[in-house]
């Protein structure tokens, strides 16, 4: 038994260890809801983001969407930053491909290293031109590299080579015009890419369908057949046949009478 005990303890601890790992894991650096980025580039940005967090304490997050449903892009970017795993240490770039617009949102601790104005200036000089030409891979790589170079320089650290990302940023590719219908990333839905908050929209729709169904069915309050029969029997006992046994209805008469009254008044379930 003594030999088995540690194994049992380990087995019991495993789920907790797994849970703690999951809780600590940051969300992926790229959420390509518009599906306009190369999957290899997403991996590179993840890698660079992890390294930057180790070296300068800042993560990157890139979100792409097609549309924002009329919401302000800065507000959506701020919401996305707040919803990211570690908003304080994160620089988030939101790109709305169909709206041809972008916004950057920076967490509190990250702002100490890279200010909002500086980030916007970097985007204007190194990202916007490529983005306007619809070179989405290049523009995304250039934006992350611009942030990365600036952060390492500000911290007085040597700027990392970032080979993979630099090759993406340097590639002069033909303008990318993927057909929006055909693009889909695992784990995202097409609605994600055209609504500011797909989850809430779906919840609202589900709630409406459910509420309508509940209203259609009504409260369902009323009496069951058994209750009606019981009431009929009690009434028979109180008002039923006289003691002499003459006159009045029998129990079945009262029960059916009560059932008829319940139909008439709508007391049935």
Binding positions for other proteins, rule: CB under 8 A: 66-71, 97-100, 134, 177-182, 190-191, 193-196, 201, 204-205, 207-209, 211-216, 218-219, 221, 264-267
Token couple for 111: 């702002």
Task: Closer to other proteins by CB, 26 or 257: give it.
Answer: 257
The rounded Cα 1 to chain-centroid distance in angstroms is 46
Task: Closer to other proteins by CB, 7 or 265: give it.
Answer: 265
Token couple for 209: 């369908």
**SS3 of residue 102 by DSSP:** strand
The least CB distance from residue 196 to other proteins, in Å, is: 7
The least CB distance from residue 231 to other proteins, in Å, is: 12
Task: Closer to other proteins by CB, 27 or 212: give it.
Answer: 212
The least CB distance from residue 217 to other proteins, in Å, is: 8
What span, in angstroms and rounded, lies between the C-alpha atoms of 259 and 252? 10
> How many CB atoms are closer than 10 A to CB 40?
11
> How many CB atoms are closer than 10 A to CB 196?
20
Task: Closer to other proteins by CB, 8 or 99: give it.
Answer: 99
* Residue 31, beta-bridge partner list: 63
Q: Are strands 90-96 and 101-106 parallel, antiparallel or unpaired?
A: antiparallel
Task: Closer to other proteins by CB, 46 or 184: give it.
Answer: 184
For residue 13, the surrounding DSSP H or E stretch is: helix 4-24
Angle at 126 between CA 125 and CA 127, to 5 degrees: 110
Task: Closer to other proteins by CB, 43 or 261: give it.
Answer: 261
* Residue 92, beta-bridge partner list: 61, 105
The least CB distance from residue 96 to other proteins, in Å, is: 9
The least CB distance from residue 207 to other proteins, in Å, is: 5
Quick check: 106 and 92 in contact, CB under 8 A?
yes
The least CB distance from residue 65 to other proteins, in Å, is: 10
DSSP E strand boundaries for 87-169? 90-96, 101-106
Task: Closer to other proteins by CB, 196 or 232: give it.
Answer: 196
The least CB distance from residue 134 to other proteins, in Å, is: 7
* Residue 91, beta-bridge partner list: 60, 106
What span, in angstroms and rounded, lies between the C-alpha atoms of 99 and 80? 17
């Amino acid at each position: 038994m003594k030999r088995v005990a540690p194994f049992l303890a380990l087995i019991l601890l495993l789920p907790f260890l797994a849970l703690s790992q999951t809780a600590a894991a940051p969300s992926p650096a790229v959420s390509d809801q518009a599906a306009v980025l190369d999957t290899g580039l997403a991996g590179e940005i993840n890698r660079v983001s992890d390294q930057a967090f180790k070296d300068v304490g800042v993560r990157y997050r890139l979100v792409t969407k097609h549309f924002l449903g009329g919401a302000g892009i800065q507000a959506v970017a701020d919401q996305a930053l707040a919803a990211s795993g570690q908003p304080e240490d994160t620089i988030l770039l939101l790109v709305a491909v169909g709206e041809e617009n972008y916004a950057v949102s920076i967490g509190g601790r990250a702002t100490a290293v890279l200010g909002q104005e500086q980030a916007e200036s970097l985007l204007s000089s190194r990202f916007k031109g490529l983005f306007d030409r619809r070179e989405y891979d290049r523009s995304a790589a250039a934006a992350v590299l611009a942030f990365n170079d600036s952060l390492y320089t500000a911290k007085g650290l040597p700027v990392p080579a970032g080979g993979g990302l630099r090759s993406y940023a340097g590639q002069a590719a033909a303008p990318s015009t993927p057909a929006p219908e055909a693009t889909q990333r695992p784990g995202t839905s097409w609605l994600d890419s055209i609504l500011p908050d797909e989850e809430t929209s779906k919840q609202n729709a589900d709630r409406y369908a459910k509420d309508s169904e509940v209203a259609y069915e009504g409260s369902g309050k009323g009496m069951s057949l058994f209750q009606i029969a019981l009431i009929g029997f009690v009434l028979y006992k109180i008002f039923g046949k006289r003691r002499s046994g003459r006159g009045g209805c029998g129990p079945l008469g009262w029960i059916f009478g009560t059932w008829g009254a319940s139909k008439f008044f709508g007391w049935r379930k």
